[in-house]
Amino acid sequence: MNLWERTKSVAKMYTGTFIVVMVLNQLVFFGFCLNPICLIAAMPHVLLITVFIGSWLNKESGWGDEKQAGNVGKIYKEGKGLVDKSLEQAAIDLKKANELASQKTVKEEYYDADYEVIEAKVLEAPAVKKPESEIDYDVCQTCGAKTVLRTARVEKYAGREFYGCSRYPECKGITNIEPKKESDYSDFLM
């Protein structure tokens, strides 16, 4: 790299540094005042800060070293790349997370399709009538969960007791209690 190219490179770096420092200075210290008087008032200390930052960047980029002469404006050291190792690790972790999420989506689509097929077959299955001779009031006839004694509140069944599934509203299974016949009460009659 010849002297003219180096000079242009350094001028670009210092100009960019100056602009960044000026904007940050105006934002932090002057409430983002862009009036000419505010900018003129900020110039002395912004120029001083720019010189320090620019010198540090030149030193880190290998200014004057023929091997690293093309790296003006870049932070470059032995063993330290342009991207921090923690950023590289974060990018790798993000890629892994994206792969896992896409695999999960594929699995969910696969299982959803299977579930729809199974659900359709369950709905097609004929209803099996259970024998009425032996009714177990403690167990739901639909799902096998425990039952709870309840009282109907609406329509023609209001006031009648029945056993309803304890998993209601997921399961709406009920077992009606057969009303006792008058012959069952005959021993209480005088």
Domain boundaries, the chain: 1-99, 127-177
Which segments of the chain are extended strands (E)?
Answer: 147-151, 161-165, 174-176
Percentage above 70 pLDDT, the chain:
65
Higher-confidence residue of 134 and 53: namely: 53
- 8 Å CB contact between 69 and 62: yes
Measure Cα distances from 127 to 27, 66, 124, 188 in Å: 75, 88, 9, 41
pLDDT tens readout for residues 37-90: 888 888 888 888 888 888 887 777 666 555 555 554 454 444 455 556 767 777
At residue 11 the predicted structure's pLDDT band, cuts being 50, 70 and 90, is confident
CA-based nearest residue to 82, from 61, 58, 96: 61
Torsions phi, psi for 162 (to 5 deg): -155, 165
